[in-house]
Amino acid sequence: MSNEHRVVIVGAGPAGVRAAETLVAAGIRPIVLDENARWGGQIYRQPPANGAFQRSKKTLYGFEAHKADALHTTMAALLPHLDYRPDTLAWACEPGRLDTLHEGREISVPFSHLIIASGATDRVLPVPGWTLPGVYTLGAAQVALKAQGCAIGRRVVLAGTGPLLYLVAYQYVKAGAQVVAVLDTSPLSQQIAAAPKLARQPATFAKGLFYVGWLKMHGVRIERDVSLIGIHGAQGVSAIKWRPSTDCSKTETLACDAVGISFGLKPETQLADLAGCRFRFDTHNRCWLPDLDPAGRSSVRGIYLAGDGAGIAGADAAELAGRRTALALLDDLGIAHPRDLGMRDAASLDRSLQRIAVFRQGIEAAFAPPAQCAAQWPDDMTVCRCEEIDAGTLRRCIRGGEANEINRLKALTRVGMGRCQGRMCGEAALTLLAEETGKPLEAVGRLRSQPPVKPIPLSPAMYSDDVIEIPEEARDE
């Protein structure tokens, strides 16, 4: 790869792998930065390569085993043709350069073109007791199962909303874990109303219905339209308390030793923010997203986004978007599209992505986060665990007239200034601010990103040798 065309891909999930495959087929040798130890992303996460435990792909991925195997096999074949860097965190982005961390070393990676395929993370909305040991996000529950071969507890309750609730429950029960209940805050009527759009992807819709039916047949209790009152315990989780949203006088407590909680997914957009990309508010994803053209080009020349990091659309769409974005990059370089490997053309990819977009609208409508949930948060409930900021502190600042915009609230209270940089508490702070001011989410601002986008050790950040990577063609000069 010439110094003029230095292509870097962040992420080796479905979008990143398919983008890399397309570029390699066109004669480009990209650099692929992967935060994980092995390619596959979150959805197709692989167990450790050291053989600590072995489980078949069918056991790990269920119906998606053939897709996982295809992605893993593709990337394995690509390794001689690209520069793959696992265990590498891209923690900051500057014009033409990424700051990365690998094995304790800070390495600056220059680029001429950048594809950000950073994926998604759990949308976290707190409930009383959410900071107790034994409370995990659904994503963390999946990591434990796929990468570590263990469950998060002996008696597990999965709570929140979103299709991931049912998928993780299915995966856990199939692995032999005890799932006491699935507590879904979305009403069944809402899910039924979204069925016409969900039916646009009949195979995916059918799998979702299968998971629900299978769980019921295996004795897993499923409750919909619930309000989560709190998670209880002394040194760890001992129970979760909830009530039907239609009957505030009725409450129920379920004994458990672990809770997996999530309210859907949200895109990881921090690198795009640091790169200077323009953002817009997306009503379906209920968050600010990079402003992209249909091919994945951002407002910054040479920077592209693909997959769930550009908007939640699922693994199938991520593979398509990875290819589509790579084709856009080739267009911008004046390089012909590859015609081998049976690769689809841009128009065909666009049509498929448009169909999936309708389905995703149905998903977001069926599993919307609970409305007006912040009103139920007690003042002493922690919202920002890094900085130990509770809901009462935020309310006093807002009600005192000191802040009606999220970055002002951040500056005055330090919410979102901790190690996670708002990845865990940002959604909650925005929700509380919107409810307190009576404004829609888009009117209270966008939480601006700051490096590092994820926690990094202090020593490399402050005392590294700032290793600057030398392009291959210049190393012998």
Same domain, 115 and 168: no
Q: Distance of CA 208 to CAs 164, 195, 413, Å?
A: 10, 11, 41
CATH of the domain at 414: 1.10.10.1100
pLDDT digits (tens, 9 = 90+) for 173-231: 998 999 999 999 999 999 999 999 999 899 999 999 999 999 999 999 999 999 999 99
387: in domain: yes
Local confidence band at 475 (pLDDT 50, 70, 90 cut-offs):
very low
pLDDT digits (tens, 9 = 90+) for 94-144: 999 999 999 888 999 999 999 999 999 999 999 999 999 999 999 999 999
Same domain, 295 and 400: no
**Domain end position, chosen among 305, 339, 363:** 363
301: in domain: yes
Same domain, 424 and 351: no
SS3 374: helix
458: in domain: no
| Predicted confidence (pLDDT) at residue 476 exceeds the cutoff of 80 | no
Query: Regarding beta strands 178-184 and 155-161, do their DSSP bridges make them parallel or antiparallel, or are they unpaired?
Result: parallel
Q: CA-based angle 418:184:174, to the nearest 5?
A: 95
231: in domain: yes
pLDDT digits (tens, 9 = 90+) for 62-101: 888 899 999 999 999 999 999 999 999 999 999 999 999 9
Same domain, 247 and 155: yes
pLDDT digits (tens, 9 = 90+) for 332-385: 999 999 987 567 899 999 999 999 999 999 999 999 999 889 999 999 999 999
Name the phi and psi angles at 316, rounded to 5.
-60, -45
Same domain, 168 and 242: yes
Q: How far apart are CA 59 and CA 338, in angstroms?
A: 35
What does pLDDT average to over the chain? Answer: 92
CATH of the domain at 17: 3.50.50.60
The pLDDT assigned to 74 comes to 96
Local confidence band at 459 (pLDDT 50, 70, 90 cut-offs):
low
Same domain, 52 and 145: no
The pLDDT assigned to 463 comes to 45
Same domain, 220 and 106: no
Same domain, 61 and 95: yes
**Domain end position, chosen among 363, 385, 405:** 363
Same domain, 142 and 243: yes
Same domain, 176 and 108: no
Handedness of CA 151, 155, 158, 159 (dihedral sign): negative
Name the pTM for this structure: 0.92
93: in domain: yes
Q: By percentage, how much of the chain surpasses pLDDT 90? A: 82
The pLDDT assigned to 257 comes to 97
**Domain end position, chosen among 313, 342, 363:** 363
Same domain, 413 and 353: no
The pLDDT assigned to 12 comes to 97
86: in domain: yes
SS3 221: strand
Q: CB neighbours of 320 closer than 8 A, spacing ≥ 6?
A: 18, 349, 352, 353, 356
Closest Cα to residue 220, out of 174, 281, 187?
174
465: in domain: no
470: in domain: no
Same domain, 141 and 231: yes
Name the phi and psi angles at 443, rounded to 5.
-90, -10
> Range of 23's domain?
7-121+266-363
3-state secondary structure 49-76: CCCCCCCCHHHHHHHHHHHHHHHHHHHH
Q: How many domains does the chain have?
A: 3
| Predicted confidence (pLDDT) at residue 1 exceeds the cutoff of 50 | no
